[in-house]
Each structure stands twice: as C-alpha cells, then as structure tokens.
C-alpha cells in the first residue's frame, strides 16, 4: 500500500501529482495535485485503478474535505494542438498552480517532469508507492469520469457513461457509424480515420490513392 516515505523527506508541503485520460479517444486529460494533511489522512488510499468507482468517489470527497487539492484540465482541442504528452504536462502544471499555495516539493507519477520551476521527483509506479500520488490519482480519475459521464448524456451513441472515452469496441463502432463529436481528439488515429468517410465516399477516397 502507498505510504509517506517520500513525503517525509521534506519539511514543507509536498504535493503528489497524477493524471487520468492520456489514452482515450475523447474528452480531456485531467491532472490532480494533492497535499495530504498532517493528521486525518483518509484510509484506503491506493492506485485509483485498484479501486472501485464507488470507493474512488468516497475517497475523492474525503480528500476535498481534508487535503489541499488542485485540478488541471486540458480539453480535446488543445490536446490536438499540443499533442497528448505536452497536454498532460500542462494539466499537471495547472493542477499544482490550482493548489493556491507554495509547495516545497512535488512528487509526480511516471518518469518525466513538466518544465516548471518546482523542485520535483518523478516516481515510476508512484501511485502504488506514495500516498499523496495515490490521492492525486483518485481525484484525477474520479474527476475525469464524472466529466465523461456528464458528456455521455449529450452524446449517448458513444457509450461514454461506461467506457469514459476509451477506444473499446462499442466506441469504435459508434465512431465509424456516426463520425467524431466535438469532444473527440482528432489527432488520435482511430478518430482521424473515422473522419475520412464523412469527407468523401469510400470509393472516391480509394480512387484518389
């Protein structure tokens, strides 16, 4: 289970940072930054992928009540402009800035750090090791899932209420049948391919190549 070994290396506030939504074909990438309290840390913090949606929701609500929490969101059109890597780095930066306080150190899940002025450490598999990164993974995942479920009401054909924008069979089939929505990432190959039949008939496209 994640612990506080890395956080205890520093005397001042330490923020854990993680993201959700690098892989989906639609919707934003969301990052969260969390500074855990000195006392009263919610029990059960873990890598968000190891937790049920109901547990993530409960823990996210508890974290908002007891911890310092910042969230950064980069939408699909900006992901297309920046590419997903730089969009993720921007979301992480926005999340730390959204904390609204100074931090001594930032712990980031993964092996790369944004270009920022904060002193920071990248930790591969950090959401399974660091409690603050695990907390950030929970907030980022629950926040993004909530966004995609809300979007699903306006775009029910893609099944986002269950797949959250990831490229499962149902989502890919709907992309082929209906084409992309304004929330799709057009720089991602399955979305770009789904746009082709909409711009010209398949036979016409074949005859041009």
Q: For residue 115, what is the domain's CATH number?
A: 3.30.420.10
Residue with tokens 């639609």: 26
- Residue 145 annotated in ligand binding: no
Calculate the alpha carbon distances from 161 to 67, 151, 156 in Å.
28, 8, 8
Q: How far apart are CA 95 and CA 43, in angstroms?
A: 23
- pLDDT, one tens digit per residue, over 84-131 is 999 999 999 999 999 999 999 999 999 999 999 999 999 999 999 999
- Residue 47 annotated in ligand binding: no
Give domain status of residue 130, yes or no.
Answer: yes
Per-residue DSSP letter, 184 = B
Give domain status of residue 58, yes or no.
Answer: yes
Give domain status of residue 201, yes or no.
Answer: no
Count of the separate structural domains present in the chain: 1
pLDDT of the residue at 196: 64
Give domain status of residue 148, yes or no.
Answer: yes
pLDDT of the residue at 112: 96
pTM, 2 dp: 0.92
Q: Are strands 105-109 and 120-123 parallel, antiparallel or unpaired?
A: parallel
Judge whether 145 and 53 are in contact, CB under 8 Å: yes
Give domain status of residue 175, yes or no.
Answer: no
Give domain status of residue 27, yes or no.
Answer: yes
Q: How far apart are CA 65 and CA 70, in angstroms?
A: 13
Give domain status of residue 38, yes or no.
Answer: yes
pLDDT of the residue at 204: 36
Q: Give the structural domain span for 79.
A: 7-154
Give domain status of residue 172, yes or no.
Answer: no
Which strands sit side by side in the sheet containing 14-20, from one edge to the other? 68-74, 29-35, 14-20, 105-109, 120-123
pLDDT of the residue at 171: 97
- Residue 7 annotated in ligand binding: no
Judge whether 20 and 144 are in contact, CB under 8 Å: yes
Q: Can you give 130-143 as a three-state secondary structure string?
A: EHHHHHHHHHHHHH
Intervals of the chain under pLDDT 70:
196-209
Residue with tokens 């990438």: 29
């Amino acid at each position: 289970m994640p612990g506080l070994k890395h956080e205890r290396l520093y005397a001042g506030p330490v923020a854990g940072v993680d993201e959700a939504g690098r892989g989906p074909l639609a919707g934003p990438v969301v990052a969260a930054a969390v500074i855990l309290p000195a006392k009263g840390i919610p029990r059960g913090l873990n890598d968000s992928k190891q937790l049920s949606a109901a547990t993530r929701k409960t823990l996210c609500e508890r974290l908002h009540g007891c911890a310092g929490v910042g969230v950064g969101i980069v939408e699909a059109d900006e992901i297309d402009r920046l590419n997903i890597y730089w969009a993720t780095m921007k979301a992480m930066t926005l999340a730390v800035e959204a904390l609204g306080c100074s931090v001594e150190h930032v712990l980031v899940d993964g092996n790369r750090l944004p270009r920022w002025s904060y002193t920071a450490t990248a930790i591969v598999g950090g959401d399974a090791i660091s409690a603050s990164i695990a907390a950030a993974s929970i907030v980022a995942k629950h926040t993004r899932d909530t966004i995609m479920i809300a979007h699903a009401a306006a775009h029910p054909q893609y099944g986002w209420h269950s797949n959250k924008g990831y490229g499962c069979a149902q989502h890919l089939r709907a992309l082929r049948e209906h084409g992309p929505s304004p929330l799709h990432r057009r720089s991602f190959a399955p979305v770009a391919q789904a746009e082709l039949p909409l711009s010209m008939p398949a036979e016409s496209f074949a005859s041009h190549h």
